[in-house]
Amino acid sequence: MRALRKTAVLLRAVRLLQEEVVPRVPEVQQERDEDEAPRHMQDVLDEFEKTQKLFVRVKPLQEGVRVLEKVAPGVFFLRGWEAFDNISSNCFFLKNKGSLLLIDCGNLSEQTAKELNAAIKELKGAVKAVYCTHGHYDHVGGIKALPSKTPVFLSEKDFYLIHGEGKARFKPLKKKIVFGSFALSVLPTPGHTPGSVCFWEARKKILFSGDTLFAAGAFGRTDFEGGDQRAMERSLKTLGGLGWRVLLPGHDDVERA
Ligand SMILES: [Zn+2]
């Protein structure tokens, strides 16, 4: 009975994506275009370049940083935040004994650096590699808080979004990531940026969806530089067919089907 109910919920989630979310893309985009408030991503990126120079590596941890939440076996969630004019993505740690793999690493603020270091300490591990869902500053800036030898992977199509001295650290993503009991497929899901990807653990049914798909059927903006509404529609259709049980997006809440 329980299993049946779960299947029903899952099917509802897939149907919601395919029948309700995808057709809404043009309409939501229209509303966003009319919204006077959004800053162009280029402004944010310019700011990124400036602040990168101001970044000072923080000393070990202060108290009061937020705790990690375990969202699946071996998967830990460090919630992102939004403050003043700054935004930092959700970060996810995969843990395999003393090794950690980090999916998205937030922005380059001291706050993010503190939180990342606190999380690493709490998990008693060392970050082996960072995998980024796309190249926006609020998902990649946190690499500054990690040792410079830690490899950082990003779709080559988003390399153009990276500026400044950190650029040399980025390596192109491959199609598969194997780490402990995790085997993640790298799914290209352009739309939010040309190089946006989702990481899909097919056996565990866990989807790291970046800024492509959010909880409750919300989806990423396509009005930034490099955004593509038609591509977003295609990407959402692909994700709708996966049947994920745990959705781990780049911002806000996580979702369980
Ligand atoms: Zn983004």
The CATH number linked to 208 is: 3.60.15.10
Distance 200 CA to ligand 1 centre (A): 18
Distance 203 CA to ligand 1 centre (A): 27
Residues 220-231 have a mean pLDDT of: 93
pLDDT given for residue 53 in this prediction: 36
For the segment 163-222, what is each residue's pLDDT rounded down to a tens digit? 877 888 999 999 999 999 999 999 999 999 999 999 999 999 999 999 999 998 899 999
Tell which wins on pLDDT, 48 or 236. 236
Tell which wins on pLDDT, 134 or 41. 134
Contact present, 38 and 32 (Cβ < 8 Å): yes
Q: Is 104 helix (H, G, I), strand (E, B) or coil?
A: coil
Question: Is the predicted pLDDT of residue 54 greater than 60, yes or no?
Answer: no
- Reported as a pLDDT band with limits 50, 70 and 90, residue 130 is very high
Distance 81 CA to ligand 1 centre (A): 13
- Reported as a pLDDT band with limits 50, 70 and 90, residue 57 is very low
Distance 185 CA to ligand 1 centre (A): 20
- Reported as a pLDDT band with limits 50, 70 and 90, residue 6 is very low
Distance 232 CA to ligand 1 centre (A): 13
Report the half-sphere exposure of 77 (CA within 13 A, side-chain side). 21
Question: Is the predicted pLDDT of residue 28 greater than 80, yes or no?
Answer: no
Going by C-beta distance under 8 Å and a sequence separation of 6 or more, which residues neighbour residue 116?
78, 91, 102, 105, 106, 142, 145, 146
Which of 51-55, 61-65, 189-193 comes out lowest in average pLDDT?
51-55
pLDDT given for residue 190 in this prediction: 98
Number of domains in the chain: 1
Distance 119 CA to ligand 1 centre (A): 23
Q: Is 29 exposed, middle or buried (0-12, 13-18, 19+ CB in 10 A)?
A: middle
Alpha-carbon span 251 to 100, nearest angstrom = 21
Alpha-carbon span 81 to 236, nearest angstrom = 24
β-sheet bridge partners, residue 75: 72, 94
Q: What is the layout of strands, in order, in the sheet containing 91-96?
A: 69-72, 75-78, 91-96, 99-103, 126-131, 152-154, 170-172
Instruction: Give residue 234's domain range.
Output: 2-256
pLDDT given for residue 71 in this prediction: 94
Question: Is the predicted pLDDT of residue 50 greater than 90, yes or no?
Answer: no
Distance 13 CA to ligand 1 centre (A): 23
Question: Is the predicted pLDDT of residue 7 greater than 70, yes or no?
Answer: no
Cβ burial 93-111 (10 Å sphere, 16+ → b, else e): bbbeeeebbbbbbbbbbbb
Neighbours of ion ligand 1 (CB under 5 A): 136, 211
Distance 98 CA to ligand 1 centre (A): 30
Chain mean position to CA 139? 6
Distance 116 CA to ligand 1 centre (A): 19
Distance 40 CA to ligand 1 centre (A): 12
For the segment 72-118, what is each residue's pLDDT rounded down to a tens digit? 999 999 999 887 667 899 999 999 999 999 999 999 988 899 999 99
Distance 198 CA to ligand 1 centre (A): 12
pLDDT given for residue 29 in this prediction: 65
Contact present, 142 and 106 (Cβ < 8 Å): yes
Total-model pTM: 0.80
- Reported as a pLDDT band with limits 50, 70 and 90, residue 32 is low
